[in-house]
Structure formats: structure tokens, C-alpha cells
Structure 1
Amino acid sequence: MKTIKRNIAYRIPLVCLCTALILTACNKKDDKAAAPDISYGTYVQVGKGKARSFVIKNADGSPKQVGFTFGEDALEGLPTQNTAFVLPMPNGHQSLVNHISFDFSVRGHQPDSVYTVPHFDVHFYMITEQEKNAITLTDPKIDILPAPEYIPKHYVPGANEPKMGKHWADTTASEFHGHHFESTLIYGSYNGKFIFIEPMIALNYLKTKPNKTQPITQQAKVQQPGKYPQTYSILWEKDRRQYTVSLNELTARQ
């Protein structure tokens, strides 16, 4: 009887140890399975910090989210004149975004008393840098508008900018209805096509360390097949002391 009890006594810890090892292995597998498939672009110096693009992929390799991160120190030591920080995309990302331009506007721009505050114009371009840089104010193609079925509801054409295109503003945005500008979503076009999506974010608003996700007003039809964002986010990560600006819920459209 003592022998039986002794054997049982030895077996119980052994069973517990085996169970623990199995659970640990399963947890590791689960953690690995749950980890997002994410790729990064190269770092670019911004202020006293750095920024880099990223793409999170679905299991089939298609893009799920595209954006960029930058450290808290990137908001310090910013240039005293308007500057575009071009962020290359990760290799093999498969998204519609060709590159991201993280543009600092020192005093803002028109319309007066609306966007005339220091802010960032975040351009997610769907054309190459060479194509973008060839856009001039004297180019008649800058005033060729997309057909009505491609224009998002409540958006109207506005200012032309060289090396960018024509900007489209959301007439329902809060800054046009008695509120101070914090962030908004702009579209951009050239030669009858929409070529960029632009979250625009006030510098002072970023310094409040927001966590904001907003829907993106969709085009009734799209001109180029691909995966288009349904929302955009401006997020602060306290543990990493960094910001994320992203286009989310990329959804296939034809």
C-alpha cells in the first residue's frame, strides 16, 4: 500500500509538470499565431525624433492597415519653415499607398482662421514621388475634377498646391461649424483622379496625446481597384512614448 501511495505521489507532480509544459507550448503557439504580420519602412529623422511607415497584413498577405509611427521627441525641434518628411513604404507591402509625406506646416494655410495654425498634413499618396513632384500650379490638369460618382459626399474642391494637387474638404467637418481645428480628413486629386488621402492634424492637438478613430467618408465608386480604408486613427501609446497615424480596415473595392 505504501508503494502504491509513493508511486501516486511521484506521478502527480510528473503529470502536473507535463501539463504545464503542454500549456506553455500551446500559449507560445497561440501568442505566435496572434502576433500581427507587420513590416516596416526605414526610419526618417523628424524633429528630434524618428518616424517610419508600417503595414499590417492579413493571413493571406493582403494589407489590413497602413500607417506610420513617430516618437514623442519628433514634435520637438521642428523646422522653422514648411518641410515635407517623406516616409518610404515597406518592401512588398501590396497596398495602394506608394509613399507617405508627413508635412509640417509652420503657420498653417488657407482658409484663414480655420487651418492657420501649426499642423501636419499627412499625405498617403497613391502616385509615385516623381509623378507628385511634377505637379505644378500652371498645369491645367490640376483643375480637371473627378467625375461626380467618384467624389465623396459633402466634399468640395479647394486650394491647389504644387507637388500635391487639388485639395478637397469635408463641409461637415467641425472646424467649419464653430469649433477649433483639431483633425480632419482631406482628399486630393489631379487630372481627374483622386491621388491621396490626407489626415490633417493640429500640432497642439497631437500634444494632448489623443486616441481617436474616425470613419472615412467613402467614394460611391473608386477609380482604381484595391483596398481602401474605412477609418483613420490618431493614437498615443504611453508605454512606447510614440504616436501612430493609420488608415484602417482596408477593404477591397472594384
Structure 2
Amino acid sequence: MKKLFFACATLLMMLGSCKKDEVTTPQTYKGAEQTLGNGKAYSWVTFSENNLPTSIGMTFTKGALDNLSHTALTALVLKLPTEAVGKTPFDHIFLSFSHTGHEPPGIYDVAHFDIHFYMQPLAEREAIPPYMPNTAAKFDNIPADGYMPKPYIKLPGGVPTMGAHWANPTSTELNGGKFTETFIMGSYDGKVTFYEPMVTLALLQSSPNITKSTPIPTKFANAGYYPMKYSIKQEGDNIVVSLDEMMMMQ
């Protein structure tokens, strides 16, 4: 009888241990794939052993950087996996590629990806109009002091379906250096709306292995898990761009 009791107790301990391991194993959840070039692009989110978000990002699969349009702007909305909804401040990723880049000339007019991690709801973002005299007020309504990191400055004007863009004036490419990658912030109607790693096609094709600190403001409109780092890395045949080391900010 004692042997049977100890055998049952041991079995229960083993089952309890297995269940605990299943619960506490870090998990990565993947969003729906979309066709890009000759490959795919998709979003993902990783949670820690305690079910807290640690990274959010997107992946270019093998071939995704090949056969991209040289004439038209390529734009994709990468919806986050359902497991990420409400667990981070981010709503979706808006990925765009331009073979000729954009203004200002001589700086960002090279083939590159704009990878916007939006906190703004999709329908609200898509309703942002072109920057014109009768629409400029919401673009020019900047967040209150502290909600944008220093020394970021707002760039002139604004972009339809995106908002106003902010850059670090100490960035390499704004001080005579070559643009390879940079970190842009965004706002619209007084709110911080996106984080944006901006990366050249050439860098993505060069087996990158970059991790840098993200700019950190002193105030946050909504409490949540915000990234302390961002990464651009080759992982096997794939290339990953991510916001990492997420921490709760009040």
C-alpha cells in the first residue's frame, strides 16, 4: 500500500512539473504571412516564461528581398498575431519599400524599407489625409514635452496614412555620413503613434547583425511594455527586424 501511495505521489509530481514547464516555456506567436518579392513577410511576438511580452518584430523570409518593384511603392499591413492584441502598445506593422527612397534628397533617396510599428489603430491611421493647409493642424499638433525622446525633432510636413515623422538630429546620415539604418518616431494630433526602424535594402542584403538602444521618452500616454532595444539581424535564411527587451513603462 505504501509503495502504491509513493508511486502515485511521484506520478503527480512529475505531471505537475511537466505542466509547469509547459506554462513557463517562452513562446513566439506568428502572424499571417504575406507575399513580398519572391518570399514572404510576417509579424510575430515573443513572450517570456512569465507570459510577458519581450520582443515584437517582423521577418523577411528567403527571397523576400528579391524581385521588388523598381517603380511602384510596395506597402503591406502585417497584422499582429492574436496573442499580441492588448499585450503590447502596438496595433499593427506597416511595411513599405521604395526603390528610389524619399526626401530629403541626398540622404534617404536610396532603396530602403520603412518598418512602422504602429500604436495607432489601423482604420485611424488609414484615414490620415495628405498634408495640406486645411489638414496641417493635426500633423503640427505635436505631443506635449516629454512624450518624444530628446533630442528628436519633427520633420517638416507629414505623410498621408502615416503622420508626422521625427528624427534624431545627431544621426549619422544627418551629419554627413551614409544612411544605412536609423530610428524614426511618429506622431499625429498630439499623440506618439509609431516607432520606425528605417533600413536600406543594401544593409538587409549584407547579413546584418545590429542591436541598438531605442530612444526612450520620459513620459508615456499609456502604460505598457515598450522596447529598450531594436535589432536588425540575419537568422539562418531569414532577416529579422525587431523591437526588443520590452519593459513596463508607466
Match of 1:92 in 2: 83
Distance in 1 of aligned mates of 2:217 and 2:50: 26
Asked which structure has the greater CA Rg, the reply is 1
- Consecutive unaligned residues of structure 1, counting only runs of 5 or more, are 1-27
2:95 to 77, 84, 102: 102
1:139-218 matches, within 5 Å, as: 139=135, 140-159=137-156, 160-218=158-216
Report if the CA contact (8 A) 1:135-1:142 is conserved: no
What one-letter code is carried by the residue in structure 2 that aligns with 1:145?
I
2:222 to 209, 221, 224: 224
What one-letter code is carried by the residue in structure 1 that aligns with 2:79?
P
**Alignment of 1:42 onto 2:35:** no
Match of 2:13 in 1: none
SS in 2 for 1:85: strand
Identity %: 40
TM superposition shift of 1:195: 0.3
- Consecutive unaligned residues of structure 2, counting only runs of 5 or more, are 1-17
Report if the CA contact (8 A) 1:89-1:99 is conserved: yes
SS in 1 for 2:90: coil
Q: 1:174 to 1:31 in 2, by over 3 A?
A: farther
Distance in 1 of aligned mates of 2:197 and 2:177: 17
- Corresponding residue pairs, total: 225
Match of 2:60 in 1: 70
Report if the CA contact (8 A) 1:49-1:71 is conserved: yes
What one-letter code is carried by the residue in structure 2 that aligns with 1:155?
Y
Match of 2:6 in 1: none
Match of 1:57 in 2: 47
Distance in 2 of aligned mates of 1:30 and 1:179: 51
Distance in 2 of aligned mates of 1:36 and 1:147: 37
Q: TM-score, normalised by structure 1?
A: 0.84
Match of 2:119 in 1: 126
Q: TM-score, normalised by structure 2?
A: 0.85
SS in 2 for 1:122: strand
Instruction: Indicate the RMSD between aligned Cα atoms, in angstroms.
Output: 1.9
CA deviation digits over 1:7-33, x for unaligned, max 9?
A: xxxxxxxxxxxxxxxxxxxxx999978
Match of 1:82 in 2: 73
SS in 2 for 1:161: coil
Shifted more, 189-198 versus 173-182: the winner is 173-182
What one-letter code is carried by the residue in structure 2 that aligns with 1:251?
M
TM superposition shift of 1:34: 8.3
SS in 1 for 2:155: strand
**Alignment of 1:250 onto 2:243:** no
